[in-house]
């Protein structure tokens, strides 16, 4: 494994420690609002929320899988003495002061510490997987992962870590651990199931060996979901997450486009002999996914570790393409009519930041243009570039 500079690692951690407390998104509060019930002895969060909805300050359902609830509920339970009683008063405050609290900077810092551990761990895992210090340092200092992990403050870094770990074991030909890692990731969030066929067809000559172990990719999900599978409250909550609907939403002649393009990418991948065929296929899937799906910003982290590998090893023209693609992505994100995706992130410093004019409002107030139409055109451009880029990677694999 390449040598690394400890001072640079210290600097990367310091940057994160400085960012962590000062950025906030209400999704983090809503998630921890649900996680708090684990410490109160609630093991069926779906039924509990359904039965007590009228008595709770926050009315939304828990749209994640049981393992997510148990993992972060247990984490919150262990750290409960350090958070203080005011933390739970804040979690249950959904009135006018819901995004304003004197200790919110401390809460943001403390709640993101598990993400920091996973983030730095993922950097070292990238180093072990690709044996390239440039990839390692790029992960540590790129603004995109810092934004996704510490500003949005979502837990997607955990399944992302496990997905990369699965690829690391795949390269080591440790198929049991590869499928088990991706299986735990799927039990946390369903999206890593997109990666499973790429693992299965990584080496077509070893299909029989993969058949022996591939069922481990579903075992953690089956074990954790089975107790809830017949409950209406769980089914309604899980269907509320929206990823499946979004993937199937874009249609031509009533035929969903994403599954078809995904299968084309998979077929090309299966017969490819490129040393980077896995990473290229993930980047192609990402390009098509972003162009076709009305994505949430935090979903970018699902693919990002593999994008970095391709970016570092690309020619200058391909680097410029990916940079331009990400500029368009963030132009699309900042045009949501959601101030918490712009100035609102700074609410932990001062609640008045949420009152500042967002890009969406600025365009609407100062021009005759419709920001939603601009955003839609950006998304169409992303789709066009995604198709062109995906074809380009297929030809130059």
Residue 211 pLDDT > 60: yes
Task: State pTM to two decimals.
Answer: 0.93
Between 381 and 54, residue with greater pLDDT: 381
Given this model, what pLDDT does residue 396 score? 64
Q: Assess whether 269 and 161 both reside in one domain.
A: no
Are residues 164 and 264 located together in one domain of the fold? no
What is the dihedral sign for C-alpha 295, 111, 178, 172? positive
Determine, yes or no, domain membership for 188. yes
Same-domain pairing of 247 and 379: yes
The distance of Cα 241 from the centroid of its chain, to the nearest Å, equals 13
Q: How many domains does the chain have?
A: 2
With 0-12 / 13-18 / 19 or more C-beta atoms within 10 angstroms meaning exposed / middle / buried, residue 272 is middle
Residues 246 and 392 in one domain: yes
Q: Are residues 265 and 375 in the same domain?
A: yes
> Residues of the chain with pLDDT > 70: what percent?
97
CA nearest 126: which of 170, 92, 164?
Answer: 164
375, 335 Cβ separation under 8 angstroms: yes
Q: What region, left, alpha or beta, does residue 41 occupy, with left being phi > 0 and alpha being psi -120 to 50 degrees?
A: left
The answer, yes or no, to whether residue 92 has pLDDT greater than 80, is yes
Domain annotation covers residue 293: yes
Select from 222, 240, 258 the last residue of a domain. Answer: 240
Shared domain check, 360 and 270: yes
Q: Is residue 148 part of a domain?
A: no
pLDDT in tens, 287-301: 999 999 988 899 999
Helix axis angle, 304-312 relative to 157-171, nearest 10°?
60
DSSP 262: H
214 is in which domain, residue-wise? Answer: 156-240
Decide which of 211, 240, 269 is a domain's last residue: 240
For residues 186 and 202, give the distance between their C-alpha atoms in angstroms, rounded to a whole number.
Answer: 19
Q: Which two tokens stand for residue 304?
A: 């990002």
Label residue 241 by pLDDT band (50, 70, 90): low
Which of 190, 213, 240 is a domain's end point?
Answer: 240
């Amino acid at each position: 494994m390449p040598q690394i500079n400890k001072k640079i690692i210290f600097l990367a951690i310091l940057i994160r420690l400085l960012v962590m407390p000062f950025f906030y998104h209400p999704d983090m509060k809503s998630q921890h609002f649900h996680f708090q019930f684990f410490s109160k002895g609630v093991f069926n969060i779906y039924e509990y929320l359904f039965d007590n909805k009228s008595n709770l300050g926050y009315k939304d359902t828990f749209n994640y899988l049981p393992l997510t609830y148990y993992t972060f509920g247990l984490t919150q339970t262990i750290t409960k003495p350090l958070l203080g009683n005011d933390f739970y008063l804040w979690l249950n405050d959904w009135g006018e002061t819901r995004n304003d609290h004197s200790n919110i900077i401390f809460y943001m810092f403390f709640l993101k510490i598990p993400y920091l551990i996973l983030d730095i761990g993922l950097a070292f895992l990238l180093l072990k997987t690709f044996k390239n210090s440039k990839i390692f340092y790029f992960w540590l200092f790129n603004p995109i992962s810092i934004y996704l992990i510490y500003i949005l403050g979502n837990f997607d870094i955990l399944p992302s870590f496990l997905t990369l770990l699965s690829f690391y074991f795949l390269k080591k030909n440790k198929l049991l651990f590869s499928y088990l890692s991706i299986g735990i990731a799927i039990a946390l969030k369903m999206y890593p199931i997109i990666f499973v066929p790429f693992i299965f067809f990584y080496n077509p000559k070893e299909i029989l060996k993969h058949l022996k172990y591939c069922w481990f990719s579903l075992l953690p999900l089956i074990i954790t979901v089975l107790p809830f599978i017949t409950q209406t409250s769980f089914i309604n909550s899980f269907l509320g997450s929206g990823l499946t609907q979004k993937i199937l939403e874009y249609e031509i002649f009533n035929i969903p486009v994403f599954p078809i393009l995904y299968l084309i990418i998979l077929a090309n991948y299966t017969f490819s002999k490129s040393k980077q065929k896995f990473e290229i296929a993930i980047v192609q899937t990402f390009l098509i996914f972003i162009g076709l799906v009305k994505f949430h910003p935090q979903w970018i982290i699902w693919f990002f570790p593999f994008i970095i590998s391709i970016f570092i090893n690309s020619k200058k023209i391909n680097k410029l393409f990916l940079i331009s693609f990400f500029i368009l992505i963030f132009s699309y994100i900042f045009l949501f009519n959601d101030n918490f995706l712009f100035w609102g992130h700074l609410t932990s410093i001062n609640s008045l930041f949420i009152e500042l004019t967002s890009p969406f409002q600025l365009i609407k107030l100062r021009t005759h243009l419709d920001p939603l139409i601009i955003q839609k055109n950006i998304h169409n451009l992303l789709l066009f570039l995604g198709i062109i880029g995906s074809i380009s990677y297929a030809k130059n694999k």
